[in-house]
Amino acid sequence: MTTNHTTTPPATALIPMPAPAARIATTAGAAVALAGTFLAWTWTDQFPGNLTVTGYPGGLQVLTLISAALTLVLTLSGYGIRGLRWLTPGGTNSPVRLLALGTFGTTAYAIGAITYDLGGVVNLEPGAWVSGIGSLIAVIAAHGLPTDQPLHDTGTTTTGWQRFRNGLTAPPARRAAPLPAWAEILTIAVAFGIGLYIFAYGVDTDYTELFIGFLITAAFAFTALNRAGLISRLTALTTKHRNITLTAALVAAVCFPFTQQKEEYALIGANILIFATVALGLNVVVGLAGLLDLGYVAFLGVGAYAAALVSGSTMSAIGVEFPFWAAVLTGAGASLVFGVLIGAPTLRLRGDYLAIVTLGFGEIFRLTVNNLNGNSGPDLTNGSQGIPSIPDLNLFGIDFGLKHDIGGFTLGRSANYYLLMLVFTAVVVLVFRRSGESRIGRAWVAIREDETAATAMGINAFRLKLLAFALGATLAGLAGTVQSHVNYTVTPEQYQFAGSVPPNSAFLLAAVILGGMGTLSGPLVGAALLYLIPAKLQFMQDYQLFLFGVALILLMRLRPEGLVADRRKQLEFHETDQLDVPEPRKSDDVDAGIAKAGA
């Protein structure tokens, strides 16, 4: 038997160009693009963002400046500059190409938007041409860099100038020295601070052009930093310090309403928390237990209607007013009961059959509350009119409908409900984390992977699936109690399988799949993206379902494990360590031929 020896292919560039020249040209192009942001891009302030000022970037210029600066930093890390190599443990060249593309994409979009809105390229000032040409040079030169190769420790010491003269793609890799504990904690805090700033900037964008440019820049920057290995390095730190990470995330979330000056932007944050919490509850059912639930939004509706009926609304058929804590228990308890009643007879089904039944339950709930109007059924939910005039909460003497001054900041109604919903989100996160790491959580994962094998090992699959269904329904009911007060009203149209306005079951399921099934932060990220993008781009409302489908198709092709994936999913979808098949010997071929002839 012979042994196959494989050799690593040489590093090649997409565009033939000496590596040192390509790196110099990339650096120069990014610097020129950055310098152009300090010049005027147009002569009139009719284009939003006022790009007429020289020496002070604004609007889309800021995004080009940030992207060009990141391109410069990662390009300089390829020279072996001490302190920058920590940012690129996975290589420098492919991240530089992505960032150069992002810089060019943002700049080209800005130039196109100015030309379209103002009516021709004559409205462009020299600054736009400088940044456009510089970013184009950076893109072309970055594609002349060799492809990243697996790095290894050579055991030799070379200077950055020697590596530059040799044309190496990156400095010889050395195992990064572990950071002190205080430095790791500081890194986590800084990372969440940057994340808060980026999210607040995206929510606070005032016009469509700026938000689209923000999406282009953020998408390319995140992909580049992930390709560079920085995201993996930060993930390792957050995994090591889980409690510190959760605390930093909570502090960053608490600071968000203090960064927003407009009530509508704080309302976006409150709705994102509501839907993210519901998506996290659905993640228990879909991500951990592997039960495809297409009618999950009905449990959100059950909690919202139950809380609305006991909220003291003048349109409530019951006519009672519970304290908020009692209303929360009522909504969560009603969702729990419905979860058990629906799950008990249906969870003996599997796969597509279970999905069809849960889809039917969601539609039955919507039709039922629509018919409880006193004509088709008992007068309980006011039919299609729903239950309006739900009063604002008053907890501990704080009226959530009024503005409050805290430390020089004014928090409006939406900010008040945002902070209240943040408490519920923290509770749901704690429940999800504890249950996922428990014996029950491991049993859910076993059922998800192979229910037959799990049953053979002594796991009571039906009981545990019913428990997951009930827990997910309860978490959705908790969020529904707050949603009813945030929206002032609950109507049947709010709880459909699919619609142009969330929440709906398709939106929640897409958030779980997009973010990453079975993870803690995945549904939070997915819900934030899927709610924020349509909320900022109003023209996308009519095409929301189409765009959801396109996003899921691209995700399945490029990153099937989701934006935030656990180790199990990464190994499942990206396993490449296959055994080499030995080449057949000539004697084997002869023996096979003789056997075939004899047959």
pLDDT tens for each residue of the chain, 599 residues long:
444 444 444 455 666 666 778 888 999 999 999 999 999 999 888 888 889 888 889 889 999 999 999 999 888 887 766 666 777 777 678 889 999 999 999 999 999 999 999 888 889 999 999 999 999 999 999 888 887 644 433 344 444 444 434 433 344 444 556 778 888 899 999 999 999 999 999 888 888 889 999 999 999 999 888 888 888 888 888 888 888 998 999 999 999 988 887 888 888 889 999 998 999 999 998 888 888 888 888 899 899 999 988 888 888 778 788 888 898 999 999 999 999 988 888 888 877 888 888 888 888 888 888 888 777 777 788 888 888 888 888 888 788 888 888 877 888 888 889 999 999 999 998 888 888 888 998 999 898 888 888 888 888 888 999 999 999 999 999 999 998 888 888 888 888 887 666 677 888 888 888 888 888 888 888 888 888 888 888 777 777 777 777 877 887 787 777 787 776 666 666 655 444 444 444 444 444 444 444 44
Domain with CATH 1.10.3470 in the chain: 241-486
HSE at residue 421, side-chain half, CA atoms within 13 A, is 32
Q: How far apart are CA 49 and CA 205, in angstroms?
A: 10
Q: How far apart are CA 401 and CA 98, in angstroms?
A: 46
DSSP, collapsed to helix, strand or coil, labels residue 515 as helix
Burial (CB < 10 A; 0-12, 13-18, 19+), residue 302, is buried
Q: What is the pTM of this model?
A: 0.81
Buried b (16+ CB within 10 A) or exposed e, 202-235: bbbbeeebbbbbbbbbbebbebbbbbbbbbebbe
Q: How far apart are CA 24 and CA 165, in angstroms?
A: 12
Cβ–Cβ under 8 Å, residues 136 and 118: no
Helix (H) or strand (E) holding 409: strand 409-411
Task: Give the count of beta carbons closer than 10 Å to the beta carbon of residue 173.
Answer: 17
Topology annotation, domain 241-486: ABC transporter involved in vitamin B12 uptake, BtuC (1.10.3470)
Task: Give the count of beta carbons closer than 10 Å to the beta carbon of residue 575.
Answer: 8
